[in-house]
Amino acid sequence: MSKKILALLLGLIAILAAIVLLKRNKPSADHITIGILQTASFPALDDSMQGFISEIKKELGDKVIIIEQNAQGSIMQAQAIASSFKANKSISGFYAIATPAVQALKSEIKTRPITFAAVTDPIGLHLREEGSNITGATDMADIEKQISILKILLPNVKKVALLYNPGETNSVILVKQMKIALEKYGITYQDNGANSQADVAAAAQHAVQNAQAVLIPTDNTIASAFPIVRQIADKANIPIIATGTAEKEGPLMQFGVDYFQSGVQAAQLMKKMLVDGIKPMDLPIVAPTSSIIISKKALEKYGLEIPDSLKDSVSLM
C-alpha cells in the first residue's frame, strides 16, 4: 500500500517537475514575462484584463509574454496561483485584478512589482506601506459628486434603496461613503443585501417597493444579475442609478468607472516600473477616469430633463 502512495506522489511530482522545467527554461533575456491573476470572471474584471493586455502589448510589443490565471472565485486557488507565480523566476511583474488577487499576490511576492486594478480600498488593505512593491488603479469613484448630481437630476427623491452584496468589500466601502453623502443631501436610505446571485431578485423586489430610486455600487454580484434588477425596476417604474455595471442600457444614470481604462492605467504603471525602473512607492495610486452617463431612453421614460447646470458634466447615451 505504501508503495502505491510513494509511486503516486513521485509520479505526480515528476510530472510537475517536467512541466515546470520545460515551460520555464525558455531564455527570457529579451522578453518580459508578466503574470496576471484575476480573482473571478465578472464583466468588470474581464474589462480590466483586456485593457491591461491591449495597453501592455502596445507599450512593449512582442517582447511581452503573458501568463494568465483565474482563481474562479476560490481564495485557496488564488493562493496556489500566487505561489506558483512566486516560484516562476522568469516573471518580472504581476498584475492583480480585484482585491483577493492582490492580497494573495501580496502574501507571496515581496520583491517583484505588482500592479492592480478593480481594488477599491488599497490603503485599508495595507497595500501601500513603507517599501511596498505594489501600486495600481483603484475603482473608487467620487461618491459625493455622484450623489450631488443625483440630487439635481431627481430633486423629488426622498428615499433611495441601496442594493449590494454585503460580502463584497468594494460594495461595503462604497455604500459606507454613499450613506455619508446621502445624509449630507438629506436623502434617507435603506439597505437591501443580496448574498448571492440567487438572492438578487428578492432584494431588488424589496428595494423597489420601499424607495423612489435604486442605488447600486460597484458590485460584482449585482452586476452579474443586473438584467433581473432592471426588469424588476422597470416594472415598478423606479429609476436605477448605478456605478459601473458595464451595462449599456437600463440605469437612468451610471457613474462609469471605466474598467478597461483602469486596466490601461495599470499597464502604464507596470511599464514605468519594469522599463523605466521607477519604484512602486514613487508611483501614486491612480484614480479612475469617471464619467457620468445618462440614458436617453430612461430620461424619456421618467419624463425627466437634464438641467442646464449639469449639461457639461454628463454624457447622454
Positions in the binding site for other proteins (CB under 8 A):
1-2, 4-5, 8-9, 12-13, 15-17, 19-21, 23-24, 41, 67-77, 79-81, 83-84, 86-90, 99-100, 103-104, 106-108, 124-127, 129, 166-169, 171-172, 195
Q: Distance (Å, rounded) from C-alpha 262 to C-alpha 94?
A: 15
* Least Å from the CB of residue 267 to other proteins: 20
Q: List Cα–Cα distances, 145 to 46, 132, 184, 316, in angstroms.
A: 27, 31, 12, 18
CA angle 32/35/36 to nearest 5° reads 135
The residue among 122 and 239 lying less far from other proteins, judged by its C-beta, is 122
The residue among 130 and 308 lying less far from other proteins, judged by its C-beta, is 130
Which residue type does 209 have? Q
The residue among 43 and 73 lying less far from other proteins, judged by its C-beta, is 73
The residue among 220 and 268 lying less far from other proteins, judged by its C-beta, is 220
The residue among 29 and 76 lying less far from other proteins, judged by its C-beta, is 76
* Least Å from the CB of residue 8 to other proteins: 6
Q: Where are the beta strands (DSSP E) in 27-82?
A: 32-38, 64-70
* Least Å from the CB of residue 57 to other proteins: 18
* Least Å from the CB of residue 251 to other proteins: 23
Q: Distance (Å, rounded) from C-alpha 199 to C-alpha 222?
A: 10
The residue among 198 and 316 lying less far from other proteins, judged by its C-beta, is 198
Q: Does residue 277 come out as left (phi exceeding 0), alpha (psi in the -120 to 50 range) or beta?
A: left
* Least Å from the CB of residue 68 to other proteins: 7
Q: Distance (Å, rounded) from C-alpha 283 to C-alpha 298?
A: 40
Q: Distance (Å, rounded) from C-alpha 240 to C-alpha 233?
A: 7
Q: What are phi and psi of 286, to 5 degrees?
A: -95, 135
Q: CB-based burial of residue 193 (10 Å sphere; 0-12 exposed, 13-18 middle, 19+ buried)?
A: middle
The residue among 21 and 29 lying less far from other proteins, judged by its C-beta, is 21
Q: Which residue in 125, 42, 39, 117 sits closest to 77, CA to CA?
A: 39
* Least Å from the CB of residue 24 to other proteins: 6
Q: Distance (Å, rounded) from C-alpha 15 to C-alpha 23?
A: 12
Is residue 255 within 8 A of residue 242, CB to CB? The reply is yes
* Least Å from the CB of residue 82 to other proteins: 8
* Least Å from the CB of residue 128 to other proteins: 11
The residue among 75 and 275 lying less far from other proteins, judged by its C-beta, is 75
